[in-house]
Chains A and B, each alone.
Chain A
Amino acid sequence: MTDAAYPDWDAVYRDNVTWVYRLMYGKVGNQPDAEDLTAEVFMTALRPMRVSATVPEVRKYLRMTARTVLASYWGDRMGREVTSIEVDVPEVIEPESVASDAPDKVRRLLQRLPDNYRRILELRFLQAFSVREAASQMGVTVANAKVLQYRALRMAAQSGEEATS
């Protein structure tokens, strides 16, 4: 498959839009921004793309474009890159595998936390409970749940930092 090329931009788009969106969603965590960034990637990338580019070349190019687009997004929003897209990926990227390590990473991260910290993050982030719902689920006050959530996030961020460095 490595020598295969796409017949036209339409095929490039249809084959790659889902993984580009997933990649972006995994880096910004919200739908409106993930959609805007995905649109920008394709608007930017489809223009100068070569007719003869192979499928892996196209995917690599889309990924590099996504990396630039994301960096510029964070630069504008936060003045720094909160998340980034890694360059060192295998030559042949299977679209399905792009964002697949994220759940594992999160699971490992949560496992390192004390029970009540893990629980509040699971309820709020993974299960989309409101603060009130999460508080009642855990048998604590709403104010308590808020404090727990932010302490848990701080600890998760610290432990994530230690794990990578």
Chain B
Amino acid sequence: MSDRTVRRFVEGLLRGQPTERARPDDFEADQMKTAIELRAARLGSDAPREEFVTDLHRRLAGEIVDEQKPVIHPRWAARRRQVVIGGSVAAASAAAGLVVGRNLLAPNESTQAAPPTQGELEPNAGTWRAVGASVDLPDGGALAFDLGSVNGFVHRTDAKLEAVSGVCTHQGCKLWLDAPESRLRCPCHSTSFSLEGTTVTHQMPIAPPPLPKFQVREINGVIEVFAPTKPA
């Protein structure tokens, strides 16, 4: 009976629940519309949650930029994540975007030609500092470290250790480790780097330089990087 469809909808609406499926007729749909308008007119109820805004920003940075940016490191090419949300609209639009090939997110190709080379961090005065135990870093894993004067990420691939700076080469924001994607991501813009330090995605006209590398070694079950000596 018609009442039940509207009642169920209104109960859910007033509880703040997502809309459930139903098949209303014209008049039921009108009542639903009126209920929505009334509910939406409640004072102060229509501002987005801060956590939602932040979370969606993070998802956009991760998902969209990954999909659109030319991927420099071939190893990452097959590891694109699928967009979690969205149905046919998103899919169709994504396809259109790729075909048309013009988008807000792609870097300017012409300025991509010569990426700056990756340097090694060579402090005037440095010491070997422990950043973690060997057992904490299995093959394929990555580890964040912060030594005060410098911070970064060390990873082990094919039994070989490599450590890179944890500071974005664009404007100096601290990178975070996106472990599932094996990426180092900048919270400021959409720049991301591979664990080896190469620039994978960015939104600037010119690609930010790759991350400087640290010298890294493993002695008696301890991983050490060569870092600047603390000022006296």
User: Taking beta carbons and an 8 Å cutoff, which residues of A are in contact with B?
Assistant: 6, 8-10, 12-14, 17-18, 21-22, 25-36, 38-40, 42-51, 53, 65, 68-69, 72, 76-80, 82-83, 99, 102-103, 105-106, 109, 121, 124-128, 149-150, 153-154, 156-158, 160-161
Contact = CB atoms under 8 A, between A and B. Distances in A.
Contacts, number: 217
A32 B18 contact: yes
B53 to A, nearest CB: 6
Given A9-B60, A17-B53, A154-B31, A126 B42 contact: yes
Contact of B38 (A30, A36, A65, A156): A156
Residue picked from A10, A17, A40, A76, most chain B C-beta under 10 Å? A10
Contacts of A51: 102-104, 106
A68 B46 CA distance: 21
For the complex of A and B, 9 pairs with smallest distance between CB atoms: A48-B97, A29-B36, A125-B38, A21-B48, A47-B97, A29-B39, A106-B41, A157-B30, A49-B104
Contacts of B7: 150
B103 A49 contact: yes
Contacts of B17: 30, 32
Contact of A29 (B40, B89, B203): B40
B167 to A, nearest CB: 19
B147 interface: no
Contacts of B61: 10
A48 B103 CA distance: 5
Contact of A125 (B18, B22, B42, B83): B42
Contacts of A30: 12-13, 16-19, 39
A157 B6 CA distance: 12
B30 A160 contact: yes
Given A9-B203, A21-B48, A29 B88 contact: no
19 contacts: A8-B189, A28-B36, A30-B12, A33-B18, A35-B49, A38-B48, A39-B59, A43-B83, A46-B105, A50-B103, A65-B93, A72-B89, A80-B24, A82-B36, A124-B14, A127-B42, A154-B27, A156-B34, A160-B33
Nearest to B45: A25
Nearest to B32: A82
A53 to B, nearest CB: 7
Nearest to A8: B203
Nearest to A51: B104
A44 B22 contact: no
Given A12-B104, A43-B83, 13 more contacts: A21-B52, A25-B45, A28-B19, A32-B16, A35-B52, A44-B93, A47-B67, A78-B29, A99-B40, A102-B37, A105-B41, A128-B14, A150-B6
B180 interface: no
A160 B93 contact: no
